[in-house]
Amino acid sequence: MKRIAPIVTGTTPPPLALDCELTTEWLVAFLRAEFKRRGFRKAVVGMSGGVDSAVTGFLSARALGAENTIAVRMPYRTSNPQSLEHARLVTESLGMVERTIDISAAVDGYLENEADADASRRGNVMARMRMIVLFDLSAKYRALPVGTGNKTERLFGYFTWHADDSPPINPLGDLFKTQVWELARFLGVPDAIVNKPASADLIHGQTDEGDFGISYAKADAILNWLLTGYTPQEIVAHGFAASDVEIVRKRLGSTHWKRKLPTVAMLSPTAIGESYLRPVDY
């Protein structure tokens, strides 16, 4: 009797591969709907020179028009000059409105009173200053700030709370980093941006993957298994290194609070968000 191999040997998490054309349509429709509902026609996007903000800019240009997308470059004096150049690659290739706001004076104005601030605190001050800029410019241009955080950094808590995550809408927040890269290639984001290592650009030479101790490719795959309900032991049994699974599990498990609104003491039977429930678009 002829022996036939099984097609699959068990269930696996949903594929990480994207139908990029469909995803683009989906996200453009999302942006258009949210802007219409909220009564805005213009977007402000913090353009860091990285792939997340580039993809967000490309999507915004498709949804609203490049002329309605205000890309804001916000360098600090220690930022890599290449970041500024890469941000310009995006704005120039799409013909967006570009603003450059150097945040050095504002950040240093505060930090001169806090000389002992370590790199983490300094990075948080920069991130929060950038949000002050974005929200202020949103008032100036009557535009809506658009967030750029991806699913991997949200799940890792790799962002400044109430800063990077504060814009009211975010088209990339349910896409893992590797999916953002795939979408970036489809959208035509310049290679120089797609192919460079991801970095928060807070310290010279810093990379996301260096900070994590694991590559995005491995982290996204493991996150995909964890979110689908597989235990760390089961994931290791599927061929992942136990040390990698532990890195991911630990980051995920220790940052749930960062994905939530502030904790409010509940006293009444009508606590907002607990008993009194209305959706954001109601």
Is residue 7 a contact residue for other proteins (CB under 8 A)?
Answer: no
For 122, 127, 136, 257, the CA distances from 107, given in Å and listed in that order, are 8, 10, 16, 26
Residues 187 and 59 sit within 8 Å (Cβ to Cβ)? yes
Is residue 261 a contact residue for other proteins (CB under 8 A)?
Answer: no
C-alpha to C-alpha distance for 253 and 66, rounded to whole angstroms: 39
Q: Which of 14, 81, 253, 262 binds other proteins (CB under 8 A)?
A: 14
3-state SS class at 240: coil
Q: Which of 34, 52, 165, 220 binds other proteins (CB under 8 A)?
A: 34
Which of these ranges, 46-54, 76-84, 120-128, 274-282, lies near other proteins under the rule CB under 8 A?
A: 274-282
The identity of residue 4, as a single letter, is: I
Q: Report the half-sphere exposure of 112 (CA within 13 A, side-chain side).
A: 5
122: nearest Cα among 73, 153, 160:
160
Restricted to residues 159-218, the positions that interact with other proteins (CB under 8 A) are 169
| 53's tokens | 């903000």
Report in angstroms how near the CB of residue 274 gets to other proteins at its nearest. Answer: 11
Which of these ranges, 9-17, 91-99, 144-152, 217-225, lies near other proteins under the rule CB under 8 A?
A: 9-17
Q: Pairing mode, if any, of strands 42-46 and 97-100? A: unpaired
C-alpha to C-alpha distance for 207 and 8, rounded to whole angstroms: 36
Shorter beta-carbon distance to other proteins: residue 48 or 224: 224
Is residue 271 a contact residue for other proteins (CB under 8 A)?
Answer: no
Total residues binding other proteins (CB under 8 A) = 24
Q: Which of 115, 139, 265, 280 binds other proteins (CB under 8 A)?
A: 280
Per CB under 8 A, residues contacting other proteins are 14-19, 22-23, 25-26, 29-30, 33-34, 37, 169, 275-282
